[in-house]
């Protein structure tokens, strides 16, 4: 591949405009097909039986009564999903999470499933399945689980990453460490030190569309899966491996997606639906209820974090240290590791050390949630940074500006930064009118910074030009946040045609080569790179066809503004040929015109944001209201600014919910108490102010248009920004997220009582 991804500093005609979204009509009229909107003739209804226990040995499952019920076509247990993972521990965990094999590891863990001719019979059948459990002691709290007295969730796990291999198994699966310099030396140089411990509760992505799929397995070893997912190629790999199918014979089609935010990067019920279909010999539709989504999909980690930061009187940070404990659910993960990498990424530090501990708990398996692990680390660090600024008597923005990372700074997690946006977002925040707006009684202002790595990865794209000159673009990264609009703009830009001439679709797994899933804010970054490459390949063909039509050497044909131009004096009489002119003749000049590309998009530019918010607190009830909220973030280049603003606002909205009210609440029995949107409180529309946004564009040198991912960074600062605002409003440092009214009132009462 001779594609040059370097930033070229070109002027744009399509990129940066705000055309209406291509999926808008379908979505507002209800025609858009989401996961539960697929149907097949003869399909059965699948339902899953789930453990009511947080931790229990499955001694016996008797499915005989359910099997005899009229209308039941298949009943499965773990026996119907034999272990084909061949020593791949991560895949084994996915298998075990899909259907518990020996132990139920959390309230909601799948233990059996049925396929029946309707939902009523399926529900009745579940009641007829008899499971003999031996209930074990459980642990759901991250700190309790890390304690050596805690009930062991997996006695085969010994903490990795310690200097000596431990003699006893532990719920702590791994220790990781990052940093450089000498923090002891650094703290010795400090005039002021802030040291605090923080906790955050577990939250769910809260996507409105529950997981849904239709699975159809044929006796010849071919299968189809229609599913709501962020990555249908990844679902294909995982399901094929778990079911023993050949990947190419399992065709996965992704539906429209009603939100994913990381939670649809992982298979949950899909292998079960396929196993049911295989056993029943008919298609099976499986739609999770909201209760099941909360109990048995992949929420984010609960955390417990200790932070220590020291600074000189002049405001220079001399050392920074953090210890981070993240819950992983019952299977090992690398969530604390990511938290440890991101914690101090905004700052230029000589001495920095972060240590992460991954902790098993009897809760559902942790999955990615928008910049996974970073918001909690930022909450702890940015709270301490704010407090340190207060102690130094420095303005919180100026203190951050003084210590902000720059081009050439060695990041706390290792690499040396290229051109980055932390300094500019801080300067923009400092100069924003929001910073100077007056505050009323019981109101406080807070700010915080956030960082996310971003990712590129494997991408494969087809661009086909129709004989009428219209362009269809087939991509394999699922459109989660508006990438079809952005990629159409990019194709139009590169080809020099109008946006309305391009139609982008998400192709199924049998139509394109492998694509990584839409995570790491990679959708528009990586697919736009592939689209540019595909368009440039198509332009080569277009030039060749024009050369044929003119009967001149192809080297004398250039491509400008959507037209082939014959260059040089000698061709003065040839009028340019439009893309449409060339397409119309394609049948006689060599057949269809297309451009293909496959690439690994490297060099995803890191992304930074600074948020400002004002909160009003009712000191008698602890009730909070977000009065004003501003997001400043670097986009590299905003391909479709309205979508970029939407990403900024969406991340802030989710962060506000997380900061103030969202949390998984477990009873002493280890059961989730609030598996529904009534008591798992995401913000409703009237809870939020209009979230103001400011897009900065510091080009990513590794993308032709300078694009950086924008989807995730916006959820990193809100927890801290809101905690700082509440703390400033009430005069008490808030250290436990969510800052629900009972927690705020309790903190205020403790302060009043001294």
Instruction: State phi, psi for 336 to the nearest 5 degrees.
Output: -65, -35
623 contributes a contact to another protein by CB under 8 A: yes
681 contributes a contact to another protein by CB under 8 A: yes
Furthest CA-CA distance within the chain: 92
**Shorter beta-carbon distance to another protein: residue 590 or 676:** 676
**Element housing 431 (H / E):** helix 422-431
Q: Which of 393, 592, 673, 731 binds another protein (CB under 8 A)?
A: 673
Contact track, another protein, 566-605, x by CB under 8 A: ----------------------------------------
Asked whether 708 and 522 are in contact (CB, 8 A), the reply is no
Instruction: State phi, psi for 224 to the nearest 5 degrees.
Output: -125, 145
Shortest Å distance, C-beta 673 to another protein: 4
**Shorter beta-carbon distance to another protein: residue 398 or 687:** 687
Sign of CA dihedral 320, 323, 327, 333: positive
Asked whether 525 and 703 are in contact (CB, 8 A), the reply is yes
162 contributes a contact to another protein by CB under 8 A: no
Asked whether 280 and 44 are in contact (CB, 8 A), the reply is yes
**Shorter beta-carbon distance to another protein: residue 71 or 181:** 71
Asked whether 697 and 703 are in contact (CB, 8 A), the reply is no
407 contributes a contact to another protein by CB under 8 A: no
Whether the bond into 738 is cis, omega within 30 of 0: yes
Shortest Å distance, C-beta 201 to another protein: 12
Number of shown-chain residues binding another protein (CB under 8 A): 24
Q: Which of 89, 90, 162, 665 binds another protein (CB under 8 A)?
A: 665
674 contributes a contact to another protein by CB under 8 A: yes
DSSP states of 397-422: HHHHHHHB--TTPBPTTSPBP-S-SH
**Shorter beta-carbon distance to another protein: residue 14 or 202:** 202
722 contributes a contact to another protein by CB under 8 A: no
441 contributes a contact to another protein by CB under 8 A: no
Shortest Å distance, C-beta 689 to another protein: 11
Q: Which residue has the tokens 């939020």?
A: 688
From the list 664, 657, 660, 659, the residue with the least C-alpha distance to 299 is 664
Tell me how far CA of residue 46 lies from CA of 76, 116, 256, 286, in angstroms.
11, 7, 21, 5
**Element housing 202 (H / E):** none
Shortest Å distance, C-beta 289 to another protein: 8
520 contributes a contact to another protein by CB under 8 A: no
Shortest Å distance, C-beta 746 to another protein: 7
From the list 548, 549, 546, 584, the residue with the least C-alpha distance to 563 is 546
Q: How far apart are CA 366 and CA 300, in angstroms?
A: 5
Q: Which of 408, 590, 731, 742 binds another protein (CB under 8 A)?
A: 742
**Shorter beta-carbon distance to another protein: residue 135 or 623:** 623
28 contributes a contact to another protein by CB under 8 A: no
661 contributes a contact to another protein by CB under 8 A: yes
740 contributes a contact to another protein by CB under 8 A: yes
**Shorter beta-carbon distance to another protein: residue 102 or 123:** 123
Q: What does the DSSP 8-state code read for residue 672?
A: B
Q: Which residues contact 266 (CB under 8 A, 6 or more apart)?
A: 94, 297, 298, 365, 367, 368
**Shorter beta-carbon distance to another protein: residue 79 or 120:** 120
Q: Which of 686, 752, 753, 754 binds another protein (CB under 8 A)?
A: 686
Q: Which of 27, 79, 102, 123 binds another protein (CB under 8 A)?
A: 123
Instruction: State phi, psi for 495 to the nearest 5 degrees.
Output: -80, -20
**Tokens coding 157:** 């796990």
HSE at residue 118, side-chain half, CA atoms within 13 A, is 3
Shortest Å distance, C-beta 653 to another protein: 13
**Shorter beta-carbon distance to another protein: residue 574 or 623:** 623
Task: Burial-class residue 455 by CB neighbours within 10 Å (0-12, 13-18, 19+).
Answer: middle
Q: Which of 684, 690, 752, 753 binds another protein (CB under 8 A)?
A: 684
Residues that bind another protein in the complex, under the rule CB under 8 A: 123, 291, 620-623, 660-661, 665, 673-674, 678-679, 681, 683-684, 686-687, 740-742, 745-746, 749
């Amino acid at each position: 591949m001779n594609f040059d991804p370097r930033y070229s500093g070109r002027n744009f005609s399509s990129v940066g405009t705000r055309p209406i979204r291509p999926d808008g009509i379908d979505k507002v009229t209800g025609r858009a097909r989401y996961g539960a909107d697929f149907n097949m003739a003869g399909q059965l209804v699948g339902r899953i039986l789930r453990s009511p226990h947080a931790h229990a040995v499955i001694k016996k499952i008797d499915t005989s009564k359910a099997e005899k019920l009229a209308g039941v076509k298949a009943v499965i247990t773990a026996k119907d999903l034999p272990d084909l993972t061949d020593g791949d521990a991560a895949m084994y965990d996915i298998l075990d999470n899909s259907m518990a094999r020996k132990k139920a590891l959390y309230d909601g863990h799948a233990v059996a499933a049925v396929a029946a001719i309707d939902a009523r019979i399926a529900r009745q059948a579940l009641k007829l399945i008899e499971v003999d459990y031996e209930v074990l002691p459980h642990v759901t709290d991250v700190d309790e689980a890390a304690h050596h007295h805690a009930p062991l969730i997996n006695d085969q796990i010994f903490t990795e990453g310690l200097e000596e291999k431990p003699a006893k198994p532990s719920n702590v699966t791994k220790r990781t460490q990052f940093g450089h310099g000498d923090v002891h030396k650094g703290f010795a140089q400090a005039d002021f030190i802030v040291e605090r411990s923080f906790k955050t509760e577990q939250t769910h992505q809260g996507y409105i569309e529950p997981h849904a799929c239709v699975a159809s397995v044929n006796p010849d070893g071919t299968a189809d899966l229609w599913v709501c997912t962020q990555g249908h190629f990844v679902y294909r790999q995982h399901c094929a491996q778990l079911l023993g199918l050949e990947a190419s014979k399992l065709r996965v089609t992704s539906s429209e997606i009603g939100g994913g935010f990381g939670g649809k990067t992982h298979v949950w019920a899909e292998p079960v639906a396929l196993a049911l279909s295989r056993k029943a010999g008919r298609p099976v539709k499986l739609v999770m209820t909201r209760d099941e989504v909360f109990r048995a999909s992949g929420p984010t980690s609960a955390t417990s974090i200790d932070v220590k930061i020291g600074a000189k009187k002049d405001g220079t940070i001399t050392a920074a240290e953090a210890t981070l404990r993240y819950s992983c659910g019952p299977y090992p993960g690398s969530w604390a590791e990511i938290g440890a990498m991101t914690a101090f990424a905004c700052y230029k530090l000589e001495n920095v050390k972060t240590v992460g501990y991954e902790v098993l708990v009897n809760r559902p398996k942790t999955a990615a949630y928008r910049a996974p692990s970073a918001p909690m680390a930022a909450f702890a660090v940015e709270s301490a940074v704010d407090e340190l600024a207060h102690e130094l008597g420095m303005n919180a923005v100026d203190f951050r500006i003084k210590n902000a990372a720059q081009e050439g700074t060695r990041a706390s997690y290792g690499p040396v930064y290229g051109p980055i946006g932390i300094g500019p977002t801080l300067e923009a925040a400092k100069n924003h009118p929001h910073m100077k707006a007056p505050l009323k009684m019981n109101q406080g202002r807070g700010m915080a910074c956030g960082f996310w790595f971003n990712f590129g990865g494997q991408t494969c794209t087809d661009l086909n030009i129709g004989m009428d000159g219209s362009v269809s673009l087939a991509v394999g990264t699922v459109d989660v946040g508006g990438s079809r609009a952005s990629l159409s703009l990019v194709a139009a830009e590169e080809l020099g045609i109008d946006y309305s001439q391009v139609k982008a679709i998400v192709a199924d797994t049998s139509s394109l080569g492998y694509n990584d899933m839409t995570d790491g804010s990679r959708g528009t970054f990586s697919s736009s790179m592939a689209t540019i490459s595909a368009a440039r390949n198509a332009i080569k063909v277009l030039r060749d066809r024009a050369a044929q039509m003119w009967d001149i050497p192809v080297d004398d044909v250039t491509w400008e503004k959507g037209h082939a131009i014959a260059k040089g004096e000698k061709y003065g009489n040839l009028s340019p040929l439009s893309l449409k002119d060339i397409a119309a003749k394609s049948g006689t000049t060599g057949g269809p015109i297309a451009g293909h590309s496959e690439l690994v998009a490297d060099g995803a530019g890191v992304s930074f944001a600074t948020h400002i918010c004002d909160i009003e607190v009712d000191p008698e009830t602890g009730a909070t209201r977000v009065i004003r909220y501003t997001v400043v973030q670097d986009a590299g280049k905003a391909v479709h600014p309205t979508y970029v603003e939407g990403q900024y606002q969406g991340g802030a909205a989710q962060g506000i919910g997380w900061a103030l009210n969202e949390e998984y609440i477990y009873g002493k029995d280890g059961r989730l108490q609030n598996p529904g949107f009534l008591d798992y409180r995401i913000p409703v529309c009237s809870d939020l102010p209009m979230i103001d946004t400011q897009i900065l564009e510091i080009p990513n040198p590794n993308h032709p248009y300078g694009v950086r991912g924008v989807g995730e960074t916006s959820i990193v600062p809100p927890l801290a920004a809101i905690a700082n605002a509440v703390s400033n409003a009430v005069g008490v440092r808030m250290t436990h997220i969510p800052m629900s009214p009972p927690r705020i009132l309790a903190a205020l009462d403790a302060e009043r009582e001294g």
